[in-house]
Amino acid sequence: MTAADHSIQLAKVAALASEEKLAEKVMAIDVSEQMPLTDVFVIASAPSERQVGAIVDEVEDRLRELGSKPIRREGEREGRWVLIDFGDIIVHVQHEEEREYYALERLWKDCPEIDLSTVEAPARPGAADGSDEVDEVDEVDQA
């Protein structure tokens, strides 16, 4: 079993939103075979607590536009590692130091990484002519 197409598209939008706020090392991992509660982890990092907060806000705003509301948000007070649970995907936005220390990608190394550069993002609501479509980002999942 692999992650659902809908989950992968949400992951793509979350990754693009993260990169718009200058997130670093954005990647997506298909955890659907290991975790029955979610399909995809999106992991992004930033060099400051303020930037972590900006990334989190942008991800939430963009996924809300697609009708996906967060079920839970944890770690916001400290701003070092914020987890946003959307059900189908879980977004981890970490300060660089937490990213290096906890190394989620290493902990989940048995799960396949999703090549987000091959995923087409859904159009933003109200973009009938495609003018407001999400811009593609080159090599979203590259470090």
Residue 6 has pLDDT above 50, yes or no: yes
Q: What is the pLDDT of residues 13-57, one digit of tens each?
A: 999 999 999 999 999 999 999 988 899 999 999 999 999 999 999
Looking at every residue in the chain, the average pLDDT score rounds to 86
Residue 7 has pLDDT above 50, yes or no: yes
Residue 14: name the closest of 94, 134, 139, 99 by CA.
134
Residue 1 has pLDDT above 80, yes or no: no
